[in-house]
Every structure is written in C-alpha cells, then in structure tokens.
Amino acid sequence: MPAVTLPFAPRWIAAKATTADLEWTDLAVIDLAKAKTPEGQAEAVIKARDAMHRQGFFYVINHGLDKAQNERIFDIAAVPFTQVSPEEKKLYEAKIKETGTFMGYKPLQYWHIANGVRDRIEHYNLNRNVNLKEHPAAVRPFLPEIQSFIHFNHVEVLHDVERLLALGLELPEDALVRKHSFEDKNNAYCRFMMYHPRPDEEEIQTENVWLKGHADQTSLSVLWSQPISALQIRDADGKWRWVKHMDNALVINCGDSLEMLSGGYYKSAIHRVVQPPEDQRGLNRLGVFYFCYADDDVRLEPLMESPLLQRVGVTRRAPEGQAPMMEEWRKARTAAYGTSDLKKGNEDGVEEEVLHGIRVKHYN
C-alpha cells in the first residue's frame, strides 16, 4: 500500500529544557502499558487513587503515541497562531461570555490577571466533534489528524485512567467511563494554546503570575508535557512547586467535576502558570491540552454506591439534590472565568465567586 501523505505543517522547534535549580513537585507516574496486565493494573489503581486523593495530579507514560507523533501534534498546534492572519482569527473568535463555550479563538488580553494587567495568552479550541464548527482555512487540512488525536485522548488514554480511578473508589471498572462517553452528549474539547512573553512592567504588576491559581472545571484535564517550565501546583502543604517536563509524557489533573462526583475524595488540583525561569524567557510557549467533561446530562452528585465513599464519608460542594448538571457547570464556569467580579475570600491571597451555589476559589 502506498504511504499516506500528510499535509505540510511548518516544524515547531521545541525549546531546550531549563537548567535552573527549581523546587519541583513530586508526582506519581502511571505506566499505561503496564496497567494493561492484571498485576500492573492493581498497582496502578493504588498509585492513581492515592495521587488524585493527595495532589490531584500525576504523569502518564507509555500512552501509545511515539515521539514523532508527539512532535507532529505540536507542529499542528502551532498552525492556528502562525499560519492564520489576525483578520481571519477575528472571524473565528469564540463567543465565550454569550455561549459559555471556548470553541474557536480566545483572543489575547481577554482575561484580567491583576492590577489592570490582562493576559498574553491566545488559544484555539475544537470540540470533541471537530465538524461541529467551521475552522480557519489553514487548520482545515489537519482536521482528520486532530479528530484522531481527540479520540486517542478521550478513549485510549482517559477511559483507561477512568477505569483506574473507578476501581480506586471500589466501583465497577466502567462506572466513570459510562459517565464520560464519546458521544454527542459529551462536550470535551482539544485546546492549542500560545503564551506570549510579557513586558517587564507587567511581570512586576502581577508578581510574575501569568494565569492565577485555579481548579479546572473538567473531570480530567490532559496536558501534553512541553519543555518551557511555567506550570506550578499548589501542594498539600500550600506551597507552590514547579511541574517538571518529562519527554512524551502526559500530565493528568483532576477538575472540579470529578471532585464533586467523588464526594471530595479526588482533589481538584490547584495550579497556576508563572513566568518561566531566566534561561527560557522571551520564548513563545506552545501548549496542547485535552479537557474532558462528564456527559452533559450527568448530575455532579457524589457516587454514593462507592464502598470507599460509604466508609470515609463525602464532602459536598452543593447541598444534596442541588448539584448542577454537567452542562450547567461547564457553561457557568466558562462564561465567568477571568471576567467576573471576584470577592476577597477568607483565606489570604484567595478571591471567590459563587456559581450555582458553589464557591469557586481563585489563588493569587
């Protein structure tokens, strides 16, 4: 058979990893290949359960894409930013506030960070079904590859992770998979994201914070590891630590939706983005993400059929019977993020908003 000819994408040259002496967080590593054996799965269930309970973060390795495939997706991810004119970008700008979705471009300086400084981040978002909306001309040749990549993240990676986490709650293996289908009622999405360097005066005004501390609205989020260090997590001791780059690894984190479904047992991971270390400053930072929601018709109530939750008890984010549906939660969080009027919280450096009766915290 003749080889399939892929459309040309300009090569994205990744930065070199930092040599700075940073305080790195210690994250568990889940080997998905090993987890396919009974012995490996039993070990991975405990590691995944404990990591999500304590930190809300872990790495995934041996997920099924090789280094060349990883590099290809980063080549494609750069296209919406480097091959589309500013005029065409405006035609595909997301109506975030109006629709409660990110589909399309989030333009630069849409979010407020601090002291009047707005973000230097642009991203392009594609629904789980890439054909739901039109895309810029330069992106269209890559849609089959992007659709395949989305399916890979959702079904080949996250369904495996969800099986481990369900078993960790002592539930049937498919308990979480059934709530995160790859069907029309699910609005998971892929994001390509470009962080642009900022002027020194903005770094001073924001104390070097590019994206303030927050928890994702998702069930699970996938970050494809890339070498420019800027991601930090708020560890259990309240200290911010750096997340170290690992070649061809994924960083998986728990979001608010899974925290609610697990009755607070799996912890929504607090994370932020800050100015990179000195040897990586002045570079554009390209990111590839997959954000997975539960199906829109899932109510975000604790899974009380879990024997584990029956033993340890649950912490509800909303009163019993009043938890939002997934669709309500994702739209409210999306519309409000970075644009709502936050109030000072009870904790130092914490601002809050209330959505569907649930307190949402943002960390400076």
Note whether 210 and 275 are within 8 A (CB).
yes
Q: What is the pLDDT of residue 340?
A: 64
Residue 114, pLDDT above cutoff 90: no
Quick: pLDDT tens for 81-98. 999 999 999 999 999 989
Inform me whether the pLDDT recorded for 3 exceeds 60: no
What pLDDT is stored for residue 341 in this prediction? 72
* 299-335 confidence digits (pLDDT tens): 999 999 999 999 999 999 999 999 999 999 999 999 8
Ramachandran area for residue 160 (φ above 0: left; ψ -120 to 50: alpha; else beta): alpha
Instruction: State the chain's mean pLDDT as an integer.
Output: 94
Instruction: Give the model's pLDDT for residue 119.
Output: 93
If pLDDT is split at 50, 70 and 90, which confidence band does 355 have?
confident
How much is the average pLDDT of 13-30? 97
Strands (E), 42-147: 57-61, 104-106, 112-114, 117-118, 121-127
Angle between helices 143-151 and 67-82 (to 10 degrees): 130
Provide the pLDDT for residue 1.
Answer: 45
User: What pLDDT digit, counting tens, does each position of 153-184 carry?
Assistant: 999 999 999 999 999 999 999 999 999 999 99
Model confidence at 2: pLDDT above 70: no
Query: The domain 29-363: what is its CATH number?
Result: 2.60.120.330
pLDDT score recorded for residue 351: 81
Distance between CA 241 and CA 249 in Å, rounded? 19
